[in-house]
A and B are shown apart, each in its own frame.
Chain A
């Protein structure tokens, strides 16, 4: 790995501090499956949006004031007075939505192609940890503009902890630093919102270390053993990732410039009022499926546990899915259940935005039940009974690729 660099200074430095050879290994030479499709673009997209969030957040933080009397006005100050403040804020708020969209697709890719299976379990875990940290970052960030939805969202979510038996109330008081969501809460939320993205950067680093240990999975899901099955990361995947950035920036730009508030709630442009709750409190769209699970269950503690469980269950997924074949391509039955699962998740998101009454409540209960049935019953059982299609020995034997590389 410690290759010589032509440049003398670089070689001297690298001999003592081998970051350059490590970077070259990771970004230039890294042997990558030659058959990756566009679903493999979403990892680098998640990386670039993380950088964009940190840069835009840093500049927002130079103008934002974390105080209950000033927070809302300081955000308006950003929107009206700061040079390009409106742009930076919209990059940050639309960026949060894009981040989740990208990561949801990234996770779905993993589910479809079985990327969570051995030997990539730890890689998968690190991904879920990133997802959990993102949830925390986005929730904390959403309280900062101190609008009505910020305030009541913070109130409702922190109150989830009161479901914990015995110590619940003390924990909530501790979280708040008082007896309601107030200035101490806002201050610590800001502090943590600032911190968490940098923790995410650290976990992303581990995620990549784990990725490079066995290399990317690929659409066939098989282990690649032939040299010809891989190509160097640069220029093949750098250019493909950059192409993905370009497409993404167009979509991102459309939202920033033409639909900046379409993904948010207008109520959050009303300053927080601790004495009046808005009619509907709904989280941002990316939390809706989990919110639906929370509300589907009529018992407080159980609802909270189900919501947490719906994410934490992903940690044990590598063992719940008992099938040895990774990719959906060779699992005709799982493939159908996969799409049912995705559809079910979207329906959960949709009912999550409705008032939980009448048939909405019934739908949310059915979908919640199905969500867990998928993981706890369908997956383990399928692994035992599903007749998988013949798996090729290498990617060239894959009927779909064969034509091109014969």
Chain B
């Protein structure tokens, strides 16, 4: 009797063990098999290649901005005046929603380069043209739900939670930058 029970238990354990290992192998295998399908929806090599672009700054005069397209999004390049730089640097950081020093947002103080997409829900803020409203802080104003950005592209008022993003870029010479 005891012997029989033992055999039964052994058989049962063996079966549960096999069940467990089979199921886990199948799950791991399926996860590996599914990955290529998911990854195929990520940006492809040619899209990534478009992610690096050079821009010429030489014809943007002081006090003016220009918009370029990069990865399908607008890049704001602003040639800031002394006054605008001062305004941006004067601010008490504790007053900011998303505290960040202006010094950390630029490479050269006169050139502010940000991705022109409102951090609220993705509209493009106004302020690139001289005739645009620039909001209460003399930077940009998002018409969608009323977010105000300052001359450093930091959010100061309105529903947007974050500052305008600074893309990765570097100066290749005096008047040329490479983004991406």
Contacts and interface: CB of A to CB of B under 8 A. Distances in A.
Given A88-B36, A88-B37, A83 B42 contact: yes
Contacts of B46: 77, 81
B40 interface: yes
Given A62-B41, A85-B44, A87-B36, 8 more contacts: A62-B40, A77-B44, A77-B46, A81-B45, A83-B39, A83-B44, A84-B40, A88-B36
Nearest to A239: B22
Contacts of B36: 83-84, 87-88
Contacts of B26: 242
A84 B39 contact: yes
A88 B41 CA distance: 11
Interface in B43-59: 44-47
B44 A55 contact: no
Please tell me the size bucket of the interface on B.
Answer: 10 to 19
Given A77-B46, A80-B45, A81-B45, A55 B37 contact: yes
- Which 3 A-B pairs rank lowest in CB-CB distance, beginning with the nearest? A84-B36, A81-B44, A81-B45
A374 B46 CA distance: 56
Interface string A67-88: 0000000000100111111011
B37 A85 contact: no
Contacts of B42: 83
Interface in A25-61: 55-56, 59
A63 interface: yes
A381 B46 CA distance: 65
Nearest to A52: B33
Interface string A97-134: 00000000000000000000000000000000000000
A77 B42 CA distance: 14
9 contacts: A59-B40, A59-B41, A62-B41, A82-B40, A82-B45, A83-B39, A83-B45, A84-B40, A85-B44
Contacts of A84: 36-37, 39-40
Contacts of A88: 36-37, 40
A55 B36 CA distance: 12
A59 B46 CA distance: 17
B26, B44, B46 — most chain A CB neighbours (10 Å): B44
A242 B45 CA distance: 36
